């Protein structure tokens, strides 16, 4: 939490002084009462002593005063608010290694299902776009609010070669920046990449693409799909075939996420993918803003003052 007027917090030193004055006043009141009253007769005059209950209104009053002082200092704190609109670009790796069956039924099919389910959790006011990448990246679906079109675009993807991660980031950023809202501004853009490997091919290196994304404030989250036991089958001349190990590579995806303020996830199973897309949908649907909280502290102070005054009036027929 930060403050616009931190010097106002100096007034907090008044609080312990008020406590000292109250204690002194209570002792003086009891001394005055004892001077004119026989202590032996007090049990007959008073049903019961208020005891520690008398401290409750005072504590509420001091808490209210604390809230007013802090509010006067104009505190700011990061708070999470829902976004009204945004462009979300899903980039899906369609390289040959995504046909490995270590994530059922295949890495690619599991990623497609996760992306489809993710789309249903994203607010309906958001535009969704789909980028696919193998040896090159291409726009499979321009930004649209139609979840049916997004589902169909996913179903139409076919496997390819290579893993042009840098090109995928660059194209996804371009897609988000092309869109304008009714005021001519570019809505917030988020990118979600499903992949299993390091960069292989393409025109742009991941480092170059990441610098552009960071400069434009585009957050890129990445999901690493697959396990170390992943294999694919390649057909050889003469009808033979061979098994090729295709373990996932996390380094590039981690770099992309960390450099753009996104999150990196590992998804070794279909259930793990489900957890990922639900978390991402909640994350993408909100934004963090630095909000002034003076009104919150003022409202809290009013509630505390009313509560303290009400209790004091009910219990002791006076206001502290």
182 and 217 share a domain? yes
CATH code of 276's domain: 3.40.50.410
Spatial distance between the Cα atoms of 191 and 129, rounded to a whole number of angstroms: 9
Q: Do residues 277 and 312 both lie within one domain?
A: no
- C-alpha 163/C-alpha 70 separation (Å) is 54
Q: Are residues 113 and 239 in the same domain?
A: yes
Please tell me the number of Cα atoms within 13 Å of 113 on its side-chain side. Answer: 17
Do 214 and 270 lie in a common domain? Answer: yes
pLDDT (tens, 9 = 90+) of the chain, 320 residues, equals 777 888 888 888 888 888 888 778 777 766 665 555 555 555 554 455 555 666 777 788 888 888 888 888 888 777 665 556 788 999 999 999 999 999 999 999 999 999 998 888 888 888 999 999 999 999 999 999 999 999 999 999 999 989 999 999 999 999 998 877 666 778 888 899 999 988 998 999 999 999 999 999 899 999 999 999 999 988 888 778 889 999 999 999 999 999 999 989 998 887 877 777 777 766 665 556 677 777 887 888 788 778 877 776 666 555 55
Q: Is the pTM of this model over 0.85?
A: no
Do 8 and 96 lie in a common domain?
A: no
Q: Is the dihedral of CA 134, 218, 146, 275 positive or negative?
A: positive
- Please tell me the total count of domains within the chain: 2
Is 218 exposed, middle or buried (CB count within 10 Å of its CB: 0-12, 13-18, 19+)? buried
Residues 26, 61 share a domain: yes
Instruction: Please state, in angstroms and rounded to a whole number, the distance separating the CA atoms of residues 140 and 124.
Output: 20
Same domain, 194 and 108: yes
Are 68 and 187 found together in one domain?
no
Q: Which domain holds residue 307?
A: 2-78+292-316
**Pair (141, 24) in one structural domain:** no
Residues 126 and 233 in one domain: yes
Residues 116 and 255 both lie in one domain: yes
Please tell me whether residues 250 and 187 are part of one structural domain: yes
Kindly state the tokens that stand for 123: 């607010």
């Amino acid at each position: 939490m930060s403050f616009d007027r931190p010097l106002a917090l100096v007034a907090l030193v008044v609080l312990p002084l008020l406590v000292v004055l109250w204690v002194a006043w209570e002792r003086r009141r009891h001394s005055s009462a004892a001077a004119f009253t026989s202590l032996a007769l007090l049990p007959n005059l008073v049903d019961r002593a208020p005891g520690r209950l008398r401290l409750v209104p005072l504590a509420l009053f001091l808490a209210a005063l604390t809230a007013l002082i802090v509010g006067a200092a104009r505190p700011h704190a990061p708070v999470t608010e829902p976004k009204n609109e945004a462009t979300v670009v899903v980039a899906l790796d369609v390289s040959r290694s995504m046909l490995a069956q270590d994530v059922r039924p295949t890495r690619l099919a599991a990623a497609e299902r996760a992306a489809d389910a993710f789309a249903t959790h994203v607010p309906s006011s958001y535009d969704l776009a789909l980028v696919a990448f193998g040896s090159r990246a291409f726009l499979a679906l321009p930004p649209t609010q139609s979840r049916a079109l997004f589902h169909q675009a996913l179903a139409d993807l076919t496997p390819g070669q290579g893993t042009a991660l840098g090109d995928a980031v660059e194209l996804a950023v371009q897609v988000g920046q092309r869109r304008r809202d009714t005021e001519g501004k570019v809505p917030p853009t988020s990118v979600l990449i499903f992949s299993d490997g390091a960069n292989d091919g393409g025109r742009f290196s991941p480092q170059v693409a990441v610098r552009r994304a960071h400069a434009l404030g585009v957050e890129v989250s990445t999901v690493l799909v697959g396990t170390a036991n992943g294999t694919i089958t390649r057909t050889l001349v003469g009808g033979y075939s061979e098994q090729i190990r295709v373990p996932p590579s996390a380094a590039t995806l981690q770099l992309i996420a960390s450099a753009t303020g996104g999150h990196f996830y590992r998804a070794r199973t279909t259930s793990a993918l489900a957890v990922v897309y639900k978390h991402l949908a909640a994350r993408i649907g909100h934004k963090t803003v630095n909000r002034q909280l003076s009104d919150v502290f003022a409202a809290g102070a009013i509630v505390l003052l009313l509560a303290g005054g009400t209790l004091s009036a009910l219990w002791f027929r006076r206001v502290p």
